[in-house]
Structure 1
């Protein structure tokens, strides 16, 4: 595929505004999740505190993400995104003033982290569910590759920006920068127009939240492909997210400073950018396969396993790049498969159930990861997580549903 054909996505002003919102919001998140864990390490040096923070931020994200999907199906997803951006901007501003007043402590960090996670939970179901109302169906894989690449770019430059700004005033400028990114994200959405839904089957205004959540669960339980993917991603995400618990302490064990730690984090995005650009502009997967997803999951697990055997910062940096490549494959192919099998009018509800199942284990796993580091080491954590994720991909590949789908894909491409 040519670059011109890939770049045609940006000829639509509507898509450009949608993409810019995602870019700035993801960048704000990336710097936030670099800055606050580094501050916690500086304040406490405790793996338990690190795990507690990730638990406190993660649990409300999971719980309210489920509700957020229902709200997105009921109301305007664009307005939900704008409100989430503005509220996160305000929360970051509060943290800035606490730092200015020299009043920042773990209590405030945990309270504001809980609120941040709650507000954040409404943005991501919205950004996922309205995508089909912004782009053409034929460009799903391209757009997903682009968004995966965008996430990887923010994962690359976010920690670099955070580390650079942090050295000047220990986080004050960082918080101002994050505040601005969320505000800009909201502004780009003001004139975004969504295509009307055809064959609308919107939730009845009189229907209950419980009933709509049950609807989403039933859809998943009756679709073996979606069910297989969700169960696989539950274990894969739990393992992969251990990376963000153990990485600051792995860097510390190597004697790394904040710049070297930022480079370790950034290489996750660097590897992902390369793969995402290839998938967006060079290799277009018109019929994404379940087999490729499972292979990518296994490769991601192998990367974690290798990270556990790293002996210095530069080995870890190289391995993080390889993990990023596998992560980009997963981030691109999984949503492309979902968009093929899930109707747009129920995408919010089903996506939220998917997110809560796949992500629900993450904060618990991260809290356990913090405890694991206290009693063992970050290297042992990565070896364990890597083994779990690698085996998850291999086992899922042998499930009958995966075998049948792969055979069907071969017939379609023959």
Structure 2
């Protein structure tokens, strides 16, 4: 592994902001390529599953990856901390690339049915349980803490770029060569990230950040990580605030938005405009942080952004037309992008680097494991009471995260390093 001392990396970060640091830009290019490949992969998987089976079977294949990701995410955080996030991300991308290209070759020569797609989804979900915590732990090991807010902004821009570009690329691959071509394209995009990550320099952990003897068991590492979060004056309430915010956001902006568009007669194009408004707002927030680099009063900003987003979510169900809904969605995107980046930067800077894999795992388990459970509940509630009451209740749940952030003194007063 290529490493430099913490002092050297810190000096480099002061001399060069993250968006001008070649080391950070190599990581950013690797992340963008990998995330774009992910988006192409999901398009290819959904298309291949629909073509090979019934809609119910296709839905089952698409959901197969969720279970191992949720069950193994905490263990993935332990793996990232024990072996180092760079090694884990490289290994994860290599496995994902090999699995996708294998299925691409299989689909090219034969029509095997649903079973290889289900196996691929299972492998992808299992590897994601290790990949996601490692991705979250990596930025703190490649730049100085003072640049982590800017890195979160750059990461947000990369994620939006991958979402916008990946879907059309996946559709193009399917149109040109079927699912096999789309899977092949996804595998190649993921493969591009590996040499870029190999060139990323890592800083060594200071002795104070190395936690315990290396012969401790994985279970003890996991328990130590959970205990560390529980007793941390900022991380513990921050996790709860993130969880409440995601729980109130996911339902309305996934299944709820579809039902709202159908109820108002906006159609798919109208829903597309609303989603475009949200994406534009989120990208603008990421761009602001990427350029600005640091916002003062981080705890206050995160709390007020969550509260502003919750008000906008509640208002979305009562706007009269598509144009107004797109404008409200723009505000939701700005608030969610700003609060998400600030919360992410606080996680990165408040946690000791040796615990970042486990801290990220807990945070992502809340977002990817628990928050999606609100989607079927939101759909059932909208069927019983309509969109308005459900959006308002969801907004209230989301707003509780902002209220919590304001009520807990240490989180409210949390600052990002200069």
- The TM-score range, normalised by the shorter chain, is 0.7 to 0.9
**TM-score using structure 1 length:** 0.79
The answer on whether the counterparts of 1:15 and 1:134 sit within 8 Å (CA) in structure 2 is yes
- Structure 1 residues 247 and 295, CA, compared in 2 at 3 Å: closer, same or farther? same
Q: Aligned-pair distance for 1:295?
A: 3.3
Which one of the candidate residues 351, 361, 369 is aligned to 1:342? 351
Correspondence list, 1:211-290, <5 A: 211-242=220-251, 243-244=253-254, 256=268, 268-282=278-292, 284-289=294-299
Q: Deviations over 1:69-113 (max 9, x none)?
A: 111211132121111112112222244345546747555444322
Q: Can you list the C-alpha shifts for 1:237-279, whole angstroms capped at 9, x where unaligned? A: 244344455667878886548xx98777665433222121112
Aligned residue in 2 for 1:29: 38
Change (3 A) 1:400 1:251: closer
Match of 1:145 in 2: 153
The answer (yes or no) to whether the contact 2:78–2:218 under 8 Å persists in 1 is: yes
Q: Could you say which residue in structure 1 is the equivalent of 2:139? A: 131
Shift of 1:231: 1.9
Change (3 A) 1:71 1:401: same
Which residue in the other structure is 1:56 paired with? 64
Q: Deviations over 1:126-153 (max 9, x none)?
A: 1221212210121121111111222122
Partner of 2:370: 361
Deviation readout 1:163-210 (Å, 9 max, x if unpaired)? 444444554443222111110011211122211111242342221122
Compared with structure 1, are the counterparts of its residues 266 and 407 closer, same or farther at alpha carbon in structure 2 (3 Å cutoff)? closer
Alpha-carbon RMSD across the aligned residues, in angstroms, is: 3.9
Aligned to 2:5: none
| Conserved? CA contact 1:159–1:263, under 8 Å | no
Say whether 1:402 aligns with 2:407: yes
**Ranges in structure 2 where 5+ consecutive residues have no aligned partner:** 1-13
Aligned match of 1:90:
98
Instruction: Note if contact 1:34-1:159 (Cα within 8 Å) is conserved in structure 2.
Output: yes
| Separation in 2, partners of 1:82, 1:49 | 30
Say if 1:156 and 1:265, in contact at 8 Å, map to a contact too.
no
Question: Is 1:146–1:277's contact at 8 Å kept on the other side of the alignment?
Answer: yes
- Asked if 1 retains the 8 angstrom alpha-carbon contact of 2:28 and 2:154, the reply is no
Range 302-311 or range 217-226, more displaced: 302-311
Deviation at 1:332, TM superposition (A): 0.9
Q: Where do residues 4-43 of structure 1 align in structure 2 (5 Å cutoff)? A: 8-37=17-46
Q: Which residue of 2 aligns with 1:73?
A: 81
Structure 2 match to 1:390: 395
Structure 1 gap segments, 5+ residues each: none
Matched residue, 1:156: 164
Cα distance, 1:164–1:196 mapped onto 2, change above 3 Å: same
- Contact 1:22–1:185 (CA<8 Å) still a contact in 2? yes
Number of residue-to-residue matches in the alignment: 399
| 1:122 equivalent among 117, 130, 134 | 130
Partners of 2:70 and 2:365 within 8 A in 1: yes
Is contact 2:19-2:290 (8 Å) kept?
no
Distance, in Å, in 1 between the alignment partners of 2:386 and 2:182 is 32
Secondary structure of the 2:298 match is coil
Distance 1:248 1:120, change over 3 A: farther
Aligned pair 1:187/2:195, yes or no? yes
Alpha-carbon distance change, 93 to 254 in structure 1, aligned in 2, over 3 angstroms: farther
Who is 2:215 aligned against?
206
Query: Which 10-residue stretch deviates more, 144-153 or 197-206?
Result: 197-206
TM-score (norm. length: structure 2): 0.79
Instruction: Supply the distance in 2 between the matched residues of 1:21 and 1:11 (Cα, whole angstroms).
Output: 16
Q: Distance in 1 between the 2:268 and 2:175 partners?
A: 14
- The structure 1 residue matched to 2:335, chosen from 326, 336, 340, is 326
Distance verdict in 2 for CA 1:353–1:403, change over 3 Å = closer
